[in-house]
Amino acid sequence: MSLKYFFEPKGIAIVGASREKEKPGRVIFEILLENRRRGLLKADLYPVNPRAQEILGVKCYKSIQEISGEVDLAIIVVPARIVPHIIEDAGVKGVKGVIIISAGFSEIGNKELEEEVKARAKKYGIRILGPNCIGVLSPWSGIDTIFLPFYKELSSGKKVVNLPRPKPGYVALLSQSGAVGTAAIDYMSGEGIGLSAFVSYGNKADIDEPELLDYFLKDPKTRVILMYVESIDDGRRFLDIASKVTLRKPIIALKAGRTKAGSKAAASHTAAVTGVDEVYSAAFRKAGIVRANDIEELFDFAKVLVMQPPSRGNRVGIITDGGGAGVMATDMAEIMGLNVPELVGETRDRLEELREKGFFPEFSIMENPVDLTGSVTSEMFIKATKILLESDEVDIVVVLALHQVPGIPDPPDLARKIGSLAYSYTKPIIAVDTGWSEAAILEREEFDKNMVPSYPIPERAIKAAWALHSYGKYLRDRGVYEKYIQHFIKFRKEWRKRACGKEM
């Protein structure tokens, strides 16, 4: 894979490594050094700074050429005007790729300087990520060029986590904007979603979205690709490659600048002309890209698409122990164009029979939503879930397991058992538990660990169901649904092997 040295480099020169605390060149070098000490990063590290003998105990080089070991990647954190000179230096050394963190190029009208950098890199066959970007992060390989430190020391002296890095996982994140990228990384860490790799590509002087999509199509760690996009330059090329990717891996795009006012704001911020929103929507749909409307949806969709197979249809079966939660879920399903069909056939019979036998509460309602009422027990939830997973009348199962009732003595245990059950089916399942109590958080965490994506309100779960339906329909229309499911089953098996998704 052509861009592999960006994500799994063997030797890294940090040009502009600094002894001054909080300088980007210092933060990046320190993080990489720490990752290497922890055994995570395998690459050799070479700080480059003509005015330093050593940084953090590591020998410092005056130039890249001075380094004797192999260097396939250079991270450049020096003032913009010096960058062409550094490229020259890297070229002579035989560096394959450079990440130009430095700003001060086309984004502020300095197009000539950017052209000069491009020309010199081309001469040596060097590939460029950036400039004006925050680069690359992969929790698998330990590469991390994000110059924002892990910790901040407050004026009280208290040290607090500033920007946690997500755990290793299967979701790739591409962001034109560095700020949105770091905000998204901070957000995803808290949502328990693992990362295969993050890339911020800034001015995209060389490497752009289509090439990155192609890389992640082939990257075995990446199962789902997220994109934050403000503008796309070469629409045709982008859609060509995106259409290829979505046959095998879902792409979820958050396209900002949707409205006239928003695109005006986008234009002044990245100096890129934002296209008309409807055009993007239609093009995304045609290429099988799932569109998210905000950061919350972006990660909600990522979670469901990495953990569950896309659905065979739009019929949602809902199980709940709180009637009102069922009503809210049904409302949202209808709004999203999903169907909450009446249960009429065998499914209804199986449920009714168990109610008559006294297994389900006397006043439970065996329609859709299946309302097991506040008298529910964990066993009832599991049984009803099994019946809906086996039903021909629904394509997606949504379990609203509000933990507060007395009949669920061990909420995370219920989540574990439903996860274990769902693993034997290729019908997707999504869970909800409302609230922020310890029990709610533990129940949701346990669902997630068992590959049943969970959400704190019914509406987010239903939107996730829509994402499964939308992508499933695309795959079926393209005739690759069954093939995708086969891949998914393999992936799920590997996940389970790794101790129930500890890495996710």
- State which of positions 284-303 bind its own copies (CB under 8 A): 293-296
Nearest distance from residue 332's CB to its own copies, in Å? 8
Q: Which is nearer to its own copies, 94 or 374 (CB)?
A: 374
Assess 411 for contact with its own copies (CB under 8 A).
yes
Q: Name the residue nearer to its own copies (CB basis): 89 or 433.
A: 433
* 203-232 residues near its own copies, rule: CB under 8 A: 228, 230
Nearer to its own copies, 148 or 485 (CB): 148
CB nearer to its own copies: give 1 or 442: 442
Judged by CB under 8 A, the residue of 436, 479, 494, 499 near its own copies is 436
Beta bridge partners of 58: 55
Neighbouring C-alpha atoms within 13 Å toward the C-beta of 413: 7
Binding residue for its own copies (CB under 8 A) from 193, 333, 401, 451?
333
Cβ proximity to its own copies: between 126 and 254 the closer is 254
Identify which of residues 186 and 214 has a Cβ nearer to its own copies in the complex: 186
- Which tokens sit at 144? 């991390």
Minimal distance, residue 440 CB to its own copies, in Å: 6
Among 114, 321, 395, 448, interactor with its own copies by CB under 8 A: 321
Q: Is 121 helix (H, G, I), strand (E, B) or coil?
A: helix
**Nearer to its own copies (CB atom), residue 56 or residue 365:** 365
List the one residue out of 261, 201, 259, 195 whose CA is nearest residue 229.
201
Q: Least Å distance between CB 279 and its own copies?
A: 16
The reply to whether 459 sits near its own copies by the rule CB under 8 A is: yes
Q: Which of 106, 177, 311, 314 binds its own copies (CB under 8 A)?
A: 177
In the chain, what is the greatest distance between 2 CA atoms, to the nearest angstrom? 83
Using DSSP, state whether 430 is helix, strand or coil. Answer: strand
Segment near its own copies (CB under 8 A); pick from 30-38, 45-53, 118-126, 179-187: 179-187
Least Å distance between CB 159 and its own copies? 9
Instruction: Check whether the bond before 406 is cis (ω within 30° of 0).
Output: no
Range list of H helices, 434-480: 438-449, 458-477
Residues 37-76 that bind its own copies (CB under 8 A): none
Smallest gap from Cβ 401 to its own copies, in A, equals 11
Looking at 44, 191, 393, 445, which residue binds its own copies (CB under 8 A)? 191
β-pairing, 127-129 vs 135-137, is unpaired
**Which residues are bridge partners to 151 per DSSP?**
161
334 binds its own copies (CB under 8 A): yes
Strand partners, 318: 398
Stretch that binds its own copies, among 116-124, 332-340, 384-392, 475-483 (CB under 8 A): 332-340
C-alpha–C-alpha distance, residues 410 and 188, integer Å? 27
Q: How far apart are the C-alpha atoms of 181 and 187, rounded to whole Å?
A: 10
Among 36-44, 180-188, 202-210, 215-223, the segment contacting its own copies (CB under 8 A): 180-188
Asked whether position 152 contacts its own copies by CB under 8 A, the answer is yes
- Which window, 60-68, 217-225, 282-290, 325-333, contacts its own copies (CB under 8 A)? 325-333
Query: 40 burial class (0-12, 13-18, 19+ CB within 10 angstroms)?
Result: middle
Find the binder of its own copies among 154, 357, 392, 424 (CB under 8 A).
154
| Residue 81 beta carbon to its own copies: minimum distance, rounded to whole angstroms | 15
Burial profile 306-342: b = 16 or more Cβ within 10 angstroms, e = fewer = bbbbbbbebbbbbbbbbeebbebbbebbeebebebbe
The reply on whether position 162 binds its own copies by CB under 8 A is: yes
Residues 6+ apart with CB under 8 A from 149: 22, 27, 30, 31, 162, 163
Given a contact cutoff of 8 angstroms between Cβ atoms, the answer to whether 323 and 371 are in contact is yes
* Residue from 108, 276, 279, 282 binding its own copies (CB under 8 A): 108
Contact range with its own copies by CB under 8 A, out of 84-92, 302-310, 352-360, 408-416 = 408-416
Exactly one of 210, 257, 309, 472 binds its own copies (CB under 8 A); that residue is 257
d(CA 431, CA 443): 10
| Separation of alpha carbons 276 and 260, rounded Å | 8
**In this complex, which beta carbon is closest to its own copies, that of residue 28 or of residue 121?**
28
State residue 180 phi and psi, 5-degree precision: -65, -40
CB 397 within 8 A of CB 428: yes
**Smallest gap from residue 243 Cβ to its own copies (A):** 26
> 230 to 249, contacts with its own copies by CB under 8 A?
230
Backbone angles phi, psi at 97, to 5 degrees: -140, 150
Record the tokens describing residue 228, joined without a space.
């934050």
Name which of 127, 123, 163 is nearest 144 in CA terms: 163
Rule CB under 8 A: say whether 439 interacts with its own copies.
yes
Tell me the closest approach of the beta carbon of residue 149 to its own copies, in angstroms: 8
Applying CB under 8 A, the site for its own copies has a residue count of 93
Cis peptide before 168 (omega within 30 of 0): no
Cβ partners under 8 Å of residue 388, min gap 6? 317, 319, 347, 370, 394, 397
